[in-house]
A = this chain, B = another copy of it.
Amino acid sequence: MASSEQVVRHFQEELEQLKARLLQMGGLAEEQVRLAIKGLVDRDRAMLARVLAGDGPLNALHIEVDDRCFTLLALHQPMAVDLRAIVAAVKINTDLERVGDLAINIAEAAQKYVEHLPVKKLIDIPRMGSIAQGMLRDALDAFVRRDVDLAQRVLNEDDTLDALKTQIFRELLTYMLQDPSTTEPALELILISRHLERIGDHATNVAEDVIFMVSAKDVRHHAAEG
């Protein structure tokens, strides 16, 4: 029979592997978002098609991570921060899978967009894409390093993304009103900016889970606590 020290070490190794899988998922999700936005900007249909066909590895990891979480909960009886880390992993796993879905949504909207003449030179949407990707990366780094300060910075970035979304909406609305022939493609750009906003929301969820995991402090629903 294993000594309790061996059991603890085994648990910590399993936890490290779980974190490694989540980082891998984060990398895949981020890359899907990057390719979808690059495919949009470069009007590259082949790249967009690759995004649409490219969610297999992410989905396989999603199921694997869920399994690992169940196994860790069932075989060990983690307490305190370890328990919070596994429950956080369950949630983060869901968030990362949704980011993958949103990359697909972006690629689908981009495919429709490139059927039309360009509405404008795309600057703010790639900027939103970079910010959202950065938030996702930082949130996962914060999870792995249990870094509350970094998680807090992710929460602050969300306002930037929100401001860009509003700016993009106003600008595209102006285009649509001035030249109705831009309506269809401009609509797709608005939807893409909403998808990017939601990717930021998922990064925010991850950051909130990190803060709760480390400090057992709930930073959600500030207003409700008032």
A residues whose Cβ falls under 8 Å from a Cβ of B: 55-56, 59-60, 62-63, 66, 69-70, 73-74, 77, 79-80, 83-84, 87, 90-91, 94, 173, 176-177, 180, 183-184, 187, 190-191, 194, 205, 218, 220-221, 224
Contacts and interface: CB of A to CB of B under 8 A. Distances in A.
A194 B183 CA distance: 18
Given A55-B224, A60-B224, A91-B91, 14 more contacts: A59-B221, A60-B221, A63-B218, A63-B221, A66-B218, A69-B87, A74-B79, A74-B83, A87-B90, A94-B94, A176-B183, A177-B183, A180-B180, A194-B194
Q: Report how many copies the assembly holds.
A: 2
A55 B225 CA distance: 12
A80 B224 CA distance: 35
A87 B73 contact: yes
Contacts of A221: 59-60, 62-63
A80 to B, nearest CB: 8
B184 A173 contact: yes
